[in-house]
């Protein structure tokens, strides 16, 4: 019973994630254009690549 | 005679099928790197569960019983991660050649306050950042409540974020930039060795006997069904964090995703989080506009939960019953909320700030460790009321 409830809750959240994905899609994929963006704006690129770290350490 | 538990094939099938589906989905819809990050998440969850590698219980054992085994394993993990990270942080990925950034954050008053709150709260909740995810994946119902309030706390922590940033600060202090690679490695390894010796001394003084090999052993070791010795967990976590660094371009982190999930839900119900300063910083702004599956932290977190589902199914302990009453639920709510809030103020949790911060040579990681430990000391005292 516990497994079934867990599966249902997990799938519900993944479904919410999929709805979000359908709504926003991929605006910017930080790993797709490394060198190009680095040339354009080094500071911004570092922040994007640092991803959740950004200026603020670990996510 | 201990009866061996049977593999839970039903839950195992779910864990494996969902993992394969998400792996394929991420590869097709996002890219190959994202599917690799998901695989790292799965392996992290599997390792965390089988090695029972939690910061919360380990720190509590030391505070209450002077049992230093988990702390010693954590020191070994940090030492190994420092050796792996120091040559590559601020350099380029060994796989993709893209820039690799460490977890560097300001050492300021908000780190002190946030880590203290986090250390206290994780004792109430009974799990830290990674602990919440892998115990949830192990079928612990209470952790679902903790996670929900972790998300709420993380979101609240992003509101008025600049107030905390403006508090007195020493700024970003990267030991690697200040002292160079060799000196930083030496300084950090010596510090960790001293802490290892201090904890061992306290343990031996109180418990008379100290067996340093205890972290290398586990009763009934089984690679698939567990349990694993703490040492194996420590080494694998350091290696997986190093792989995360090279594939994602940044070290392993957990709590950013919680704030992001909270912000997405808040936006959905009409709260204008996009106008908050935090969500206008470079990466958070992109993450908020992007698909949740494009966020590295989100997909590694999902991987950790599923990795733990698979591990606990192999161990036959997914449906293990846990005691719950109103006091324990209150601890889960309070602990979850305060962990989320504290993690935002402290620029991360025990993973993003402590593990990845120290491995990246950031001073804020050490400050986080100190003040979270002090917070945990008070948390252990407070916990007695909730769990009595």
- What is the band of B95 on the pLDDT scale with cuts at 50, 70, 90? confident
Q: What is the spatial distance between Cα B221 and Cα B355, in angstroms, rounded to a whole number? A: 26
Residue B282 pLDDT grade (very low, low, confident, very high; cuts 50, 70, 90): confident
- Give the pLDDT confidence score for residue A26 in this predicted structure: 64
The pTM score is 0.93
pLDDT single digits (tens) B327-357: 999 999 999 999 999 999 999 999 999 999 9
Cβ–Cβ < 8 Å for B383, B331: yes
Using CB atoms, which residue from A20, A46, A51 is nearest to B292? A20
- Judge whether B345 and B125 are in contact, CB under 8 Å: no
Can you read off the two tokens belonging to residue A12?
């519900």
- Could you tell me which chain B residue has the CA closest to the CA of A52? B256
pLDDT given for residue A41 in this prediction: 47
Of A17, A44, A50, the CB nearest to B250: A50
pLDDT tens digit sequence for B230-240: 999 999 999 99
Lowest-confidence region among B26-40, B223-237, B282-296, B333-347: B282-296
Residue B289: per-residue pLDDT: 85
Residue A29 pLDDT > 60, yes or no? Answer: no
Q: Would the pLDDT of A43 be above 60?
A: no
Task: Give SS3 for A1.
Answer: coil
pLDDT of B190 above 90: yes
pLDDT of residue A32: 44
Which chain B residues have a beta carbon less than 8 Å from that of A26? 30, 290-291, 294
Beta carbons of B248 and A51 less than 8 Å apart: yes
Average pLDDT, chain B: 93
Which sequence spans correspond to the domains of chain B? 9-386
Interface of B with A in 98-127 (CB under 8 A): 98-106
The residue that leads in pLDDT, B96 or B369, is B369
How much is the ipTM here? Answer: 0.80
Chain-centroid distance, C-alpha B278: 22
Residue B106: beta bridge partners?
Answer: B172
Question: Which residues from chain A sit within 8 angstroms of residue B354, using beta carbons?
Answer: 58
Contact A58 B283 (CB under 8 A): no
Residue given tokens 């160079």 in the structure block: B180
Note whether B105 contacts A24, CB cutoff 8 Å. no
Least CB-CB distance to B31: which of A31, A51, A55? Answer: A31
Chain B neighbors of A48, CB-CB under 8 A: 282-283, 286
Residue B247 pLDDT exceeds 60:
yes
Nearest Cβ partner for B289 among A6, A14, A27? A27
* Count of CB atoms situated within 10 Å of the CB of B9: 11
Distance from CA of A49 to the nearest CA of B (A): 6
Distances (CA, A) of B145 to B15, B158, B332, B337: 21, 20, 6, 10
Residue A58's pLDDT band (cuts 50, 70, 90) = low
B348 in the Ramachandran plot: left (φ > 0), alpha (ψ -120 to 50) or beta? left
**Nearest CA to CA, how far is B217 from chain A (Å)?**
31
% of chain B beyond a pLDDT of 90: 78
Q: Do B31 and A29 touch (CB under 8 A)?
A: yes
**A40 has pLDDT over 70:** no
pLDDT single digits (tens) B10-31: 999 999 999 999 999 999 888 8
Residue B204: pLDDT over 50: yes
- B319: contact with A, CB 8 A cutoff: yes
Contact A49 B249 (CB under 8 A): yes
Closest by Cβ to B291, choosing from A25, A30, A47: A25
Radius of gyration (Cα) for chain B, nearest Å? 20
């Amino acid at each position: 019973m516990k497994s079934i409830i867990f599966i249902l809750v997990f799938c519900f959240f993944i479904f919410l994630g999929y709805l979000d994905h359908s709504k926003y899609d991929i605006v910017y994929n930080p790993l797709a254009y490394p060198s190009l963006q680095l040339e354009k704006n080094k500071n911004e690129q570092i922040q994007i690549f640092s991803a959740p770290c950004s200026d603020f350490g670990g996510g | 005679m201990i009866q061996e538990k049977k593999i839970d094939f039903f839950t195992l099938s779910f864990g494996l099928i969902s993992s394969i589906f998400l792996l394929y989905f991420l590869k097709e819809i996002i890219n190959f790197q994202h599917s690799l990050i998901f695989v790292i998440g799965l392996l992290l969850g599997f390792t965390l569960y089988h090695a029972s590698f939690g910061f919360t219980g380990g720190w509590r054992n030391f505070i209450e019983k002077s049992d230093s085994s988990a702390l010693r394993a954590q020191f070994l993990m940090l030492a190994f991660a420092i050796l792996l990270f120091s040559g590559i942080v601020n350099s380029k990925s060994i796989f993709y050649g893209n820039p690799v950034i460490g977890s560097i954050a300001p050492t300021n008053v908000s780190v002190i306050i946030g880590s203290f709150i986090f250390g206290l709260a994780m004792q109430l909740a009974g799990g830290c950042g990674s602990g919440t995810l892998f115990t949830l994946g192990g079928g612990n119902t209470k952790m679902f409540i903790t996670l929900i309030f972790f998300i709420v706390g993380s979101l609240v922590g992003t509101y008025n974020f600049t107030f905390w940033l403006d508090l007195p600060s020493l700024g970003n202090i990267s030991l690697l930039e200040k002292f160079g690679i060799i000196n930083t490695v030496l300084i950090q390894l010596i510090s960790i060795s001293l802490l290892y010796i201090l904890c061992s001394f306290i343990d031996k003084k109180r418990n008379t006997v100290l067996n340093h090999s205890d972290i290398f052993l586990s009763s009934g070791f089984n690679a698939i069904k567990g349990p694993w010795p703490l040492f194996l967990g420590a080494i694998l976590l350091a290696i997986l964090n190093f792989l995360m660094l090279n594939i994602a371009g940044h070290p392993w982190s957990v709590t950013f995703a919680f704030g992001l999930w909270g912000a997405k839900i808040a936006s959905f119900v009409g709260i204008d989080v996009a106008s908050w300063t935090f969500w206008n910083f470079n990466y958070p702004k992109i993450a908020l506009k992007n698909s949740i599956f494009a966020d590295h932290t989100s997909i590694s977190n999902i991987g950790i939960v599923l990795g733990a589902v698979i591990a606990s199914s192999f161990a036959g302990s997914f449906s293990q019953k846990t005691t719950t009453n109103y006091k324990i639920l209150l601890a889960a709510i309070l602990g979850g909320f305060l962990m989320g809030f504290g993690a935002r103020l402290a620029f991360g949790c025990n993973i993003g700030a402590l593990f990845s911060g120290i491995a990246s040579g950031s001073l804020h990681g050490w400050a986080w460790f100190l003040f979270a430990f002090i917070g945990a000391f008070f948390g252990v005292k407070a916990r007695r009321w909730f769990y009595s």
